[in-house]
A and B are shown apart, each in its own frame.
Chain A
Amino acid sequence: MGPVDYIPRIRDNYARLGYKAYGWVVNRDDAPWTPLRKPLSQCRIGLAASGGIYVTGQVAFHHKDDTSLREIPTDVDTKDLRATHFAYDLSDARTDPNVVFPIDALRRLAREGFIGGLASRFHTFMGGIYSSRRVSEELAPRLTERFVEDGVDAVLLVPV
């Protein structure tokens, strides 16, 4: 069986429920491209994830177009991570946040030398922001600033 076609499926489902059609982001321009300039084993890797991950003690995300970011120390204890979201089934993310925030695998690959190292912090936010304008004008530029501050060579983006 092929991949799930989410766009038509969600469109049809919302139409049946009487909701307004959702305006999916469609970028028709060529994707920008920056080649990797050195081997992965020499690259410092960053991580940004949209699954609503925060550290206990931080203010949790809210569920209505929350464009704020949380800074997750790369040496955080995995058991202090929490997940909040309105639009996906959280049971597995709350059992093991690595399913949407692969911090343990990244730390292991850094120890093994598969990647050169990790940023000192990772970044999380809340997905399901219904305004793509607010994502591109508010959230994305702040994320980019942080990646530059972090001195990363490449960033793994993990949406839900």
Chain B
Amino acid sequence: MTSALDITRAVNPPRAAFLDFPLGHTAGKPNDPELQRRILVEALSSFETMTAPGSVTELPFRWSEDESWKDKAFAEGDDRKPRYDTPQYQDEEDRRRAEGGGSPACPVCRP
């Protein structure tokens, strides 16, 4: 799956399904399981329908009627965070759990 068509065409994978959504939403919108399911059905179906290497199918979904999000994508500035080389936890509780040797609920919790 991809939301960056030109980057994917440059990489040239065997098969790709392009979803024209803002980066960070390659598989759908948050808290919309019906849309997420429909997107996955279309994307997975490409495994059966594509017959040529390098094929890209465009999935029939739009982020919004108005496509103004496209004007803002990577247009200016640099809003990336610093690239620290230490673990970057979502929150401090995650850090405590990981440093405390994992969580009983997670048998594979290890680096």
Contact = CB atoms under 8 A, between A and B. Distances in A.
Do most interface residues of chain B lie in helix, strand or loop, or is the interface mixed?
loop
A98 B14 contact: no
A55 to B, nearest CB: 5
A137 interface: no
B85 A105 contact: no
Interface in B75-111: 75-78, 80-91, 93-95, 97-98, 102-103, 105-111
User: Could you say which interface size class chain A belongs to?
Assistant: 35 or more
User: Could you say which interface size class chain B belongs to?
Assistant: 35 or more
Scoring A59, A88, A108 by chain B CB atoms within 10 A of each residue's CB, the highest score goes to A59
B24 A99 contact: yes
Nearest to A71: B108
A57 B106 contact: yes
Interface in B25-60: 25-31, 33, 36-37, 39-41, 43-45, 47-48, 51-54
B88 A24 contact: no
A10 B26 contact: no
Contacts of B37: 105, 108-109
Interface of A: 1, 3-7, 9-10, 13, 16-17, 24-36, 39-40, 43, 45, 51, 55-65, 68, 71-73, 76-77, 80, 82-84, 86-90, 92-96, 98-102, 104-106, 108-109, 114-115, 121, 128, 154, 156-160
